[in-house]
Amino acid sequence: MQFTRRKIIGLGAALVTLSSYPLLAGQSLSTSRPLPPRRKPSGTAPSIVNATLRAAVRPTKLFSDTLLPLWTYHDDILPVIRVSKGGRLRTAFRNDLPEHSSIHWHGIRLPNDMDGVPYVTQQPTPPGGEFVYDFTVPDTGLFPFHSHCNTAEQLGRGLAGALIVTGDETKFYDADLLCVIKDWRVGSGGHFTAFSNDRGAARAGTFGAVRSVNYQHIPVMEAPAGGDVRLRLMNIDNSRVNQIGLEGAEAAVIATDGQAIAPFPFETWRLGSAMRLDLCIRMPAPGHEVNIFDYFAPEPVLLATIKAAGDGFVRSDFNPAPLYAADITEPDLSTAIYKRIEFSSAAVPSPRSVKLFNGKIFDPMDGLCLSDKTFWAINKTTWPEDGHQRLPAPILNLKKDQTYVFELVNATPHMHPIHIHGHTFLYLNSNKQSLPKHFADTVLLKPKERIHVAFKADNPGDWMFHCHIIEHAETGMMSILRVA
Ligand SMILES: [Cu+2]
């Protein structure tokens, strides 16, 4: 198969950057530096960004001369929207797909009715229909957006974008590169293959045959030689967990799921579906290159390359500046209520109606939002519910402004990136690995792992809580948390 490159272009008021992402080994970050305090509001009026996203079929020669019937939000097939922190994003969404859709803004702590989950927070937008998403962005960082029904196919066909919320930098970077990682379920004839099958859905997921970064196969990017570069990495694949590694540069982790962390040397990091990682890398001398790999494979898989361009800076030791601290309230653990949440395999359920936070009834009989197969469960409950002849309900009713500690328990032999809507977890600890405390809206559970996370349930509404391996969510590992 012959691969061609395709440029990713900016969207309206938004800017776009190309990116890729490296890993390093054995560098010498001295001691980790504390985060500077949250940045004070500037006092100027918050910015407003207007975006137009039109979901449509856009046949594109992506990896070969065969036109691949992509579904995308924009003529720029991977739109990138930039908004400054505290700014307002107004998105006119039009659906010209042959089926209903919506936009879920992953990781954004927004009002419940802007969360883009069909039936739960809004009616699905039908073919020919429109919906306006209008909300303020409270946190800096990198966030994906995508649909939330029939996602295996809609996201599988490319229906996604990136939202970058700016305002967290304490120092100027020499480049800012975005690296969106995704498999494509494309066969040797250059056509789409099945986005999901039972074998994949019941195990680790249905992987694609073609890897991509920014919808290109092994793109080659450039950054100033010797420069300090911000690399924003985001995995939007339906299923595959990528274990990111870099060769050819020193690097430090500066943010997880977009939220600042005291910089520490980067060696490797697992990115499950929808997870993000920000690195600062020191580019090598002119003519050298940095390679970004997925190490979670029998042989390392090259994802992208960054070439060191220009004459090169003369620089002192590598000691990346921390980003401004996240604007998220640190949970007060002394008052926290503990909840154990187990992720397991499931028996076959019988769908039934759910009464929602907004008083409406969610009728789950829409085939686009449900699978007829059920393989997975959360606290022995499947989505929409494995009923015992009773009305299903949110798996947990949470008190508004109460702090909770969840023990996320993986009772399966597979990995599950667990995602909460409308809130951000503080990752505390694990029985399997020692990662620093960090903020995350999506937490990767390894087989048999138990992870403690804490958060303040301060955003009222019915919020989805699910595995982000799309096939797992669509075959049972999805639920609602009610905050009221
Ligand atoms: Cu899962």
Counts for the chain of helices (H) and strands (E), in that order:
3, 32
Burial class (CB in 10 A: 0-12, 13-18, 19+), 28: exposed
Distances (CA, A) of 102 to 122, 262, 322, 367, 448: 9, 36, 36, 15, 34
- Give 346's pLDDT tier (boundaries 50, 70, 90): confident
Q: Which pLDDT does position 188 carry in this prediction?
A: 86
Q: Which pLDDT does position 383 carry in this prediction?
A: 73
Q: How far is the CA of 131 from the centre of ligand 1 (A)?
A: 30
Distances (CA, A) of 303 to 290, 429, 442: 11, 30, 22
Q: How far is the CA of 354 from the centre of ligand 1 (A)?
A: 23
Phi, psi of 251 (to 5 degrees): -155, 155
Amino acid identity of residue 426, one-letter, is L
Question: Is the bond into 384 cis (omega within 30 degrees of 0)?
Answer: yes
Q: Tell me the average pLDDT across 230-240.
A: 97
Structure tokens at 389: 């002849």
Q: pLDDT for 259-291, tens place per residue? A: 999 999 999 999 999 999 999 999 999 999 999
Q: How far is the CA of 102 from the centre of ligand 1 (A)?
A: 22
Give dist(CA 372, CA 16) in Å, integer: 39
The answer to whether the CB of 163 falls within 8 A of the CB of 15 is: no
Give dist(CA 79, CA 162) in Å, integer: 6
The region of weakest confidence among 175-179, 193-197, 209-213, 432-436 is 193-197
Give dist(CA 422, CA 415) in Å, integer: 23
Distances (CA, A) of 475 to 123, 189, 377, 444: 21, 29, 8, 18
Q: How far is the CA of 421 from the centre of ligand 1 (A)?
A: 16
Q: How far is the CA of 239 from the centre of ligand 1 (A)?
A: 8
Phi, psi of 3 (to 5 degrees): -110, 140
Q: How far is the CA of 479 from the centre of ligand 1 (A)?
A: 12
β-sheet bridge partners, residue 145: 105, 161
Give dist(CA 216, CA 194) in Å, integer: 20
Structure tokens at 226: 């010797």
Q: Which pLDDT does position 259 carry in this prediction?
A: 97
The region of weakest confidence among 171-185, 339-353, 396-410 is 339-353
Residues sharing a CB contact under 8 Å with residue 180, sequence separation 6 or more, in sequence order: 19, 78, 144, 160, 162, 213, 214, 215, 234, 236
Q: How far is the CA of 468 from the centre of ligand 1 (A)?
A: 6
Q: How far is the CA of 121 from the centre of ligand 1 (A)?
A: 23
> Where do runs of H (alpha helix) occur along 316-438?
none
67-72 and 48-61 strand pairing: antiparallel
Query: Please, what's the largest Cα pairwise distance for the chain?
Result: 71
Q: How far is the CA of 415 from the centre of ligand 1 (A)?
A: 6
Q: How far is the CA of 91 from the centre of ligand 1 (A)?
A: 30
Q: pLDDT for 27-54, tens place per residue? A: 345 456 778 887 766 666 779 999 999 9
Q: How far is the CA of 249 from the centre of ligand 1 (A)?
A: 33
Query: Over pLDDT 70: what percentage of the chain?
Result: 86
Q: How far is the CA of 373 from the centre of ligand 1 (A)?
A: 15
| pLDDT(25) > 50 | no
Q: pLDDT for 294-324, tens place per residue? A: 999 889 999 999 999 999 888 889 999 999 9
Residue among 314, 305, 326 at smallest CA distance from 261: 326
DSSP state letter for 46: P
Q: How far is the CA of 376 from the centre of ligand 1 (A)?
A: 8
Give dist(CA 402, CA 338) in Å, integer: 11
The region of weakest confidence among 95-109, 319-333, 374-388, 394-408 is 374-388
Amino acid identity of residue 350, one-letter, is S
- Give 329's pLDDT tier (boundaries 50, 70, 90): confident
Q: Tell me the average pLDDT across 344-349.
A: 69
- Give 476's pLDDT tier (boundaries 50, 70, 90): confident
The answer to whether the CB of 350 falls within 8 A of the CB of 344 is: no
Q: Which residues of 178-205 are buried (b: 16+ CB within 10 A; e: fewer)?
A: bbbbbbbbbeeebebeebbeeebbbbbb
Burial class (CB in 10 A: 0-12, 13-18, 19+), 3: middle
Q: How far is the CA of 469 from the centre of ligand 1 (A)?
A: 5
Helix (H, G, I), strand (E, B) or coil at 116: coil
Q: How far is the CA of 445 from the centre of ligand 1 (A)?
A: 9
Q: pLDDT for 365-378, tens place per residue? A: 456 666 667 888 88
β-sheet bridge partners, residue 416: 445
Helix (H) / strand (E) containing 212: strand 210-213
Q: Between 397 and 41, where is the model more confident?
A: 397
Structure tokens at 199: 């074998």
Q: How far is the CA of 454 from the centre of ligand 1 (A)?
A: 20
Look at the chain and count its residues: 484
Q: How far is the CA of 129 from the centre of ligand 1 (A)?
A: 32
Q: How far is the CA of 224 from the centre of ligand 1 (A)?
A: 39
Give dist(CA 63, CA 186) in Å, integer: 9
Q: Tell me the average pLDDT across 473-482.
A: 89
Q: How far is the CA of 204 from the centre of ligand 1 (A)?
A: 7
